[in-house]
Structure 1
């Protein structure tokens, strides 16, 4: 078991890191003490083994050769549904993606039911809007929600900073994103809902729509180029209306895989089991074969797809202007 544990860890760390140094740092031991444990000259204690398993997030199935292939370990990450919980959630996402960014041939595949949060955080006003939604309407503590209007909301700097970390790390990993034309529906509904509650002015709502358009234009440019301009990392965009898009994300690399699926806005399950993630990877590969690639040379399909998104935003802006003119008449 010990040999398998150290072999697993060795495959998880980047090639430019010293294996012994990494183990030494995790266990808080000297270089020589770690070397003796790795080579079997000193017994690795149960506590030390557990510490390594926990630090490197190693599935116990992989270490103990569990025979029942129908049972796997699923990790559950629960965050508080408030502003500190949102900060923790962003930090967790950033940390996971940074771990994979350092591995060879890392890539993520995202089945986007909603506009991906890491894209939403890219432009200032849409970022403020999304953080406002998370901080107020997804919180268990409803006290005072009706008193805080969007215009008076100030994004905490710590959230702004960690949100930027999230967008930055996603730009540094190759990606396959699967979208359909419903991807911005939730965002548009949120704008409409806040208007109905009088928690946002028509003027601000129109500005958010403009910022959403700006955000979509950034994605369209990446789709045209087939890469992210700032980092030159591959960006592949696909259209598929047939499969169930559920905001799940599969992250793969030469040495490690992870599948993440949300079950509340700030909490998610993650699976590291190799066989399961390979099955999911195979499933996504098949779905991509039956999807329309709308990045790169697919000019006509891409233009049609993005025109639908822009059309939805323009329709929402017309509805907002009608509400704005009605309110002016009432005055």
Structure 2
């Protein structure tokens, strides 16, 4: 393993620099000590291997040479316990996708159990409400508290909102492919109804959040018809598939001409970042199969496309009716 790792690092070193001197400098050790490690006389420690991997930007899967086994190494998203943790999560997520989005011909593929974060991270009540729900799920103290969304919204730091808006902006600068089902909208509506019925969201704000979701769907429908993000003459494509066969998972895959990486969730917001080549290829092939069994709404015909979005809007309207009806059923 060490021999393969050293060989790989040599290929990445500068031609005008002594490889031994370079390794010695990175590890802060003497020339002789570096020479012994390069020539396999001394084993590289785990700490040293990580330092070298970071310096040469080598993936951990390459570092541990696990490509031929059934085990892979993944990167875990930052833990979220409070507002500062959520802000760190947003910033780390941005750092993960920005370099990939800047590569020409890169593409995002979203398997949407829920509406993509990138659609909802805007200057809206919906964005603020999503944050409230996440923290109610992940912050023990907030989960125990009776603080309402109306009150909590007044305490949101500007830096948290700025981090959210920056992540949402990524979608305007890259090619997008999304897979939705008839149930993709359900989670967001259920969150509104749950906290409204618990008395933690006022009727006024609950209805405004629903209106924000209406607006998101209207924008997605326009982008679906135009097959582009933003204006119709945008260079960034947007393709929306209606998937009726497979379960969608909130997995985001980023493909570039050089590599693939995907982010897959395992709790509310926590996700694994996976760069392992063979695993990424497996996920990519699965997503392609999902698309082949789905309808591309831009070309499926006006009837199918209109019916799909009409059904989504009807669900939002039903949620609003339920909110209004709940208010009318109050006798005292």
TM-score category (smaller protein): 0.7 to 0.9
1:259 aligns with 2:281: no
Counterpart contact for 2:176–2:237, Cα < 8 Å: yes
* Structure 2: distance between partners of 1:6 and 1:63: 14
1:36 aligns with 2:16: yes
Higher RCO (Cα < 8 Å, 6 or more apart): 1
Partner of 1:306: 309
Partner of 1:85: 85
Distance apart, 1:232 and its partner CA: 3.6
1:326 aligns with 2:329: yes
Counterpart contact for 2:78–2:88, Cα < 8 Å: no
Counterpart contact for 2:93–2:167, Cα < 8 Å: yes
Distance apart, 1:35 and its partner CA: 5.1
The SS at the match of 2:266 is strand
Alignment of 1:114-133 (within 5 A): 114-133=114-133
1:161 aligns with 2:141: no
Pick from 279, 282, 292 the counterpart of residue 282 of structure 2: 279
Counterpart contact for 2:137–2:268, Cα < 8 Å: no
1:106 aligns with 2:110: no
Change (3 A) 1:89 1:60: closer
The SS at the match of 1:103 is coil
Once the two structures are overlaid, the 10-residue window that deviates more, 211-220 or 258-267, is 258-267
Q: CA-to-partner distance for each residue in 1:235-290, whole Å, 9 max, x for gaps?
A: 11101121121111111112232111111223211211112111211221122111
The SS at the match of 2:165 is helix
CA-based RMSD:
2.4
Distance apart, 1:50 and its partner CA: 3.6
Pick from 231, 239, 242 the counterpart of residue 239 of structure 1: 242
Q: CA-to-partner distance for each residue in 1:147-191, whole Å, 9 max, x for gaps?
A: x22222222211110111011012212111110011111111111
Distance apart, 1:218 and its partner CA: 0.8
Structure 2 residue ranges without an equivalent (≥5): 28-47
Change (3 A) 1:243 1:136: same
Counterpart contact for 1:250–1:260, Cα < 8 Å: yes
The structure that has the greater radius of gyration is 2
Size of the aligned set, in residue pairs, is 303
Distance apart, 1:63 and its partner CA: 4.9
Off by >6 Å, runs of 4+ in structure 1: none
The SS at the match of 1:259 is strand
Structure 1 residue ranges without an equivalent (≥5): 10-22, 24-33
* Structure 2: distance between partners of 1:36 and 1:3: 17
Q: CA-to-partner distance for each residue in 1:271-330, whole Å, 9 max, x for gaps?
A: 111121112112211221111101356422211111111010111111111112223xx2
1:208 aligns with 2:209: yes
1:289 aligns with 2:292: yes
Once the two structures are overlaid, the 10-residue window that deviates more, 312-321 or 48-57, is 48-57
Change (3 A) 1:96 1:61: closer
The SS at the match of 1:310 is helix
Distance apart, 1:101 and its partner CA: 1.3
Change (3 A) 1:240 1:6: farther
